[in-house]
Amino acid sequence: MEFHTAYIGAGSNIGNKLLNCKNGIAALTRAKKTVLKDWSRFYKTEPVDYKAQDWFVNLVVKIETTLDPFQLLNELKSIERDTGRVYDPIRFGPRILDLDIILYDDLVKNSSGLVIPHPRMHKRCFVLKPICDIDPKIVHPVLKKDMQYLLDILDEKEQGIIEY
């Protein structure tokens, strides 16, 4: 059985945001095909793109999994549905739980429904800051820059982020 390392972003801005994130990560590890290896701090983060909504709670977790990327994506979407997430027509709108594959080993994949690494991760303080909590030296497999460098070049005025 082969294990893969993946980084999963979790976020919520509806209801008990912190509990929603914790429950989503717990559900992922209950699948027995995934082991939680590390996690970042929790952050309160200002919405990006669609601003007319509550701030989010976000974190990133590092997992080891036997699931391939598509199986992992299906598991994440299943957990979102189980928590009551309704897919709103507003892109980047409010959500009870959002789980995204940020990185999966050093895989670069661009297919219908799945893009790895996450296509906007290098523009998102709410992704880069938590990843840097875990390991700032991880190298983006496309940009070939480490996470700390990508975080340092972001304009932090574009998104408010504070430790929860």
Q: Residues with catalytic annotation?
A: 85, 95, 98, 100
Do β-strands 161-163 and 114-116 pair in parallel, antiparallel, or remain unpaired? unpaired
CA 75 distance to own-chain centroid: 14
Q: How many helices (H) and strands (E) does the chain have?
A: 4, 8
Closest CA to 14 of 60, 77, 45, 57: 57
The reply to whether omega before 69 is within 30° of 0 (cis) is no
Q: Residue 73: how many CA atoms within 13 Å on its side-chain side?
A: 16
127 token code pair: 């992704």
Whether the CB-CB separation of 24 and 80 falls below 8 Å is answered with yes
Angle value at C-alpha 48, between 55 and 28, nearest 5 degrees: 70
